[in-house]
Amino acid sequence: MNNKIFEQLKITSLEGIYPIGEDSELLSSALFIPKNASCLDLGCGTGIQGITMAKQGAKKITFGDINPNALENARINVLQNHVKTRVSFVQTDVFSNVSESFDVIAFNPPYVPSDDIQWIETDGGKKGRKILDRFLETVSDHLSPAGEVFFLQTSLNGTKKTEEILRKKGFRFEIICRQKLFFEELLVFHAQKNPKPADIRKQKK
């Protein structure tokens, strides 16, 4: 999938908020959202994923981030991109303050390997998987019966482990986008709970 909606957006990045880079653009370009879906942009940062969802016809977007400044940044970008979808904002550490379920969840987790998480926008803890693994462990609890999730991962953090967790949790999944960088490959996973046979839409890699 290559929707390129992000190229038409006006996105402001406030100081200290993770700026849009190859990873954010890759995830945004991979999103395909059912009309009238309820969506969560988790770790929203500038809000690019949620705004992309809105432009594709989502009826409700929740922007979630541990950093209150990121939520303010997302509010700014929602306004300047004239998002008419119903929106809400929640300060949350992964799903700590999220109680509802969604049709679609998008997540670009911090993935830089680090002994301690000092920079919440980039540090992913041991092997860069600490935040990703927390997300994968509980994401199914926050999806509607046939809910879908899109998330980004770097090849440096072990895609086989991700696939093992998804299988264990009963997801049907595929890698729908890839982008090779100098020392890594960025990957976008699309996973779904309880899919009908035609629900996982094949995409060009």
Confidence of residue 19 (pLDDT cuts 50, 70, 90): confident
Burial of 36 (0-12, 13-18, 19+ CB in 10 A): exposed
The alpha-helical segments, DSSP class H, found in 33-120 are 48-55, 68-80
Asked if residue 157 has pLDDT above 90, the reply is no
Distances, alpha carbon 118 to alpha carbons 18, 112, 124, in Å? 14, 11, 10
CA 80 from centre of chain: 21
pLDDT in tens, 168-181: 999 999 999 999 98
pLDDT in tens, 90-124: 999 999 999 999 999 999 988 544 545 444 444 43
Which pLDDT score, from 0 to 100, does residue 18 have?
A: 79
**Which is nearest to 151 in space by CA: 110, 204, 198, 102?**
110
Asked if residue 54 has pLDDT above 70, the reply is yes
User: Which of residues 196 and 15 earns the better pLDDT score?
Assistant: 15
Name the pairing type of β-strands 185-192 and 143-154.
antiparallel
Question: Rounded distance, CA 138 to CA 152, Å?
Answer: 16
Cβ(140)–Cβ(173) under 8 Å? no
Which pLDDT score, from 0 to 100, does residue 204 have?
A: 38
